[in-house]
Amino acid sequence: MDNIKELIKNGKAVLGIEFGSTRIKSVLIDTEGNPIASGGYEWENQLIDGIWTYSLEDIHKGLTGSYLAMKEDVKKQYGVTLKKLKALGVSAMMHGYLAFDENNQLLVPFRTWRNTYSVEAADKLTEYFQYNVPIRWSVAHLYQSILGGQEHVKDVGYVATLAAYIHWQLTGEKVLGIGDASGMFPIDIEKHDFDMERMDKFDQLIADKNYPWKLKNIFPKVLCAGDDAGTLTKEGALMLDPEGDLAAGVPLCPPEGDAGTGMTATNSVAQRTGNVSAGTSVFAMIVLEKELSKVYPEIDLVTTPTGSLVAMAHANNCTSDLNAWVSLFKEVTDAFGVEVDMNQLFGTLYNKALEGDADCGELLSYGYYSGENIIPITEGRPLFVRMPDSKFTLANFMRTHLYAALGAMKIGMDILAQEDVKIDKILGHGGLFKTPVVGQRIMAAAMNAPVSVMETAGEGGAWGIAVLASYLVNKEEQESLEDFLDKKIFRGEEGVRIEPVKEDVEGFEVFIERFKKGLDIEQSAIKNLR
């Protein structure tokens, strides 16, 4: 306790802040990467005029709220006021579209990764570039705005992701980590920058519009892990800490997306490693040894924070519908006057799923609150379906929803299996893994590969970006991120590993075939339920 107290007083602690879809979290770490304090701020996206968004006011309020909660935790635990930091990093949900004019005024409300309106743009760019451009990517949002003749496009001076925007506010620097940048536009893996040849092709594609900008001039500068990304300004320090205690001048690492921080938090930045983040959304990321043989619309190509190529199977929806059903069961217990802790309820129901039939007893669920790319569907209609003679038990019901939460991702991962992509280990993190064993076992069945969970994975992306900030200031000369993680942060820790159970794997295969055959039900619901 005294050592940590002195570390904080001497300004040796490192801070990471990540903007998740429902929570903004701040994690303070020591020189070895151990979390020593944390704070959070709950927030929610809003559906306004058909667009999923967060307001700039909520972004700034959340940034301050999360920091002050962490600062209060420091005061409570160690009796000191946090005044100095050795380094700082910010990360956020990848993709999306924050467009500003030359006077730094927001032109249209923030369009998040959750929006699915840019299908036409994504399809045309994928064909034009011969490179998969998902609907979530910033360039897809921009091109859809152009196709729609939106007035604001001519005035665009800067396009940012959420992490790039926050970093800009704190430092004045318009930069972005390569992992998050790979969710804006294709990356040149050799040059560790945006693919300038394709950027030129984009400018040629829209040349007839006569816009006063070129794409490379309105996107952030690309940086890799360990690069200098600027320092905290006085204005930035007050933005974090309006109480005025935090000193400016703190070095910041390149801002990253939640994919990059997830890889870092699970030590999955080396080739043939992978990680799965499962919460509101779910995505599996495998670091590739070589490029895929062809373009797959279902598979995103992104990068690690150091620029290695990563195949990502990303689904917008994961646990939201599952959580809604658990909340309904909580209403039932409340109606009987029985007090049940939500963590206990989740744990009980999740464990019940393991008692169900491996194929879910012919039950079927689609937990879609919004559209998907892998499926593809353009909107969400949560559905539960069964036959009159299906085995309708609580265990099968819960197992169905756990399987369904991974359904779209599973379809994407099967493509990588066909490409003979080698995976030595997969690390899991996110809310699905909070209940011991259950989430891991279901994920192992979906991936047909061992899944490990480490204690640090519970800290999530905020811890991951704190580690990347620590790498900036604590790495030795020429030390790679892989070596820094292996030797100084994880120190040989492998986590708790669960092998796939044969019956589970076979049952999941039966379920996913029924899942694919039933997709017409979901399409009909989208068409007919308004």
* Residue 462 located in a structural domain: yes
Structure confidence at residue 495 (pLDDT): 84
Verify that 1 and 86 share a domain, yes or no: yes
User: Rounded to whole angstroms, how far apart are CA atoms 267 and 454?
Assistant: 10
Q: What pLDDT is stored for residue 457 in this prediction? A: 54
In a domain, 15, yes or no: yes
What is the model's pLDDT at position 458?
Answer: 55
Give the pLDDT confidence score for residue 380 in this predicted structure: 92
Residue 460 confidence (pLDDT): 77
Model confidence at 20: pLDDT above 60: yes
| Residue ranges of E strands in 256-358 | 256-257, 273-278, 282-287, 300-303, 309-315
**Are residues 478 and 402 part of one domain?**
no
Torsion 250-253-259-260 (CA) sign = negative
Question: Is 249 in the same domain as 368?
Answer: no
Reply yes or no on whether the pLDDT at 467 is more than 80: yes
Q: Do residue 518 and residue 492 come from a single domain?
A: no
Mean pLDDT of the region 37-58: 95
Residue 417 domain flag: no
Mean pLDDT of 190-214: 97
Residues 241 and 349 in one domain: no
Average pLDDT over residues 441-470: 87
Which whole number is the average pLDDT over 4-32?
A: 96
The predicted model gives 406-427 an average pLDDT of 91
- pLDDT, position 118: 95
Please, how many CA atoms are within 13 Å of residue 128, restricted to the half-sphere of its CB? 21
Residue-wise pLDDT for 249-295, tens only, equals 999 999 999 989 989 988 889 888 898 988 888 989 999 998 899 99
- Which of 242-246, 298-302, 345-349, 422-426 has the least mean pLDDT? 422-426
Cα end-to-end distance, the chain, whole Å = 57
Domain identity same for 476 and 520? no
Q: Which amino acid is at 24?
A: I
Q: Which two tokens stand for residue 113?
A: 């990764």
CA atoms within 13 A on the CB side of 33: 29
* Same domain, residue pair 491 and 515: no
User: Does 521 reside within a domain?
Assistant: yes
pLDDT at 172 over 70: yes
Q: Are residues 513 and 471 in the same domain?
A: no
* Residues 399 and 518 reside in one and the same domain: yes
CA atoms within 13 A on the CB side of 430: 27
Name the nearest CA neighbour of 485 among 503, 500, 466.
466
Q: Which residues contact 184 (CB under 8 A, 6 or more apart)?
A: 95, 137, 138, 139, 159, 161, 176, 194, 219, 220
| Residue 145 banded pLDDT, cuts 50, 70, 90 | very high
Q: What range defines the domain where residue 369 resides?
A: 320-409+509-528
pLDDT of residue 341: 94
Residue 494 CA to residue 456 CA, distance in Å, equals 11
pLDDT for the residue numbered 60: 98
Least confident of 120-134, 446-460, 502-516: 446-460
pLDDT at 162 over 80: yes
**Looking at 156-165, 335-344, 423-432, which range is the least confident one?**
423-432
* pLDDT given at position 376: 80
* 360 domain residue, yes or no: yes
Q: Which residue has the higher pLDDT, 530 or 511?
A: 511
The mean predicted confidence, pLDDT, of the chain is 94
131 part of a folded domain = no
Judge if 262 and 391 occupy the same domain. no
Looking at the structure, do residues 324 and 393 belong to the same domain, yes or no? Answer: yes
Q: State the average pLDDT over residues 197-216.
A: 98
Q: What is the pLDDT averaged over residues 193-197?
A: 98
- Structural domains in the chain (count): 2
Using N-to-C axis directions, what is the helix angle for 407-418 and 394-405, rounded to 10°?
50
- CA torsion sign for 122, 295, 277, 98 is negative
pTM: 0.82
Residue 199, domain member (yes or no): no
CATH number for the domain harbouring residue 10: 3.30.420.40
Q: Are strands 187-188 and 175-177 parallel, antiparallel or unpaired?
A: unpaired
Q: Is there a domain that residue 277 lies in?
A: no
DSSP class per residue in 244-278: S-S-S--BBPPPEEHHHHHHHHTT--STTEEEEEE
Judgement on whether residues 514 and 374 belong to the same structural domain of the protein: yes
Report the pLDDT averaged over residues 458-470.
Answer: 89
Distance between CA atoms of 519 and 373, rounded to whole angstroms? 13
Amino acid 459: pLDDT:
63
Which tokens in the block code for residue 220?
Answer: 């952030």
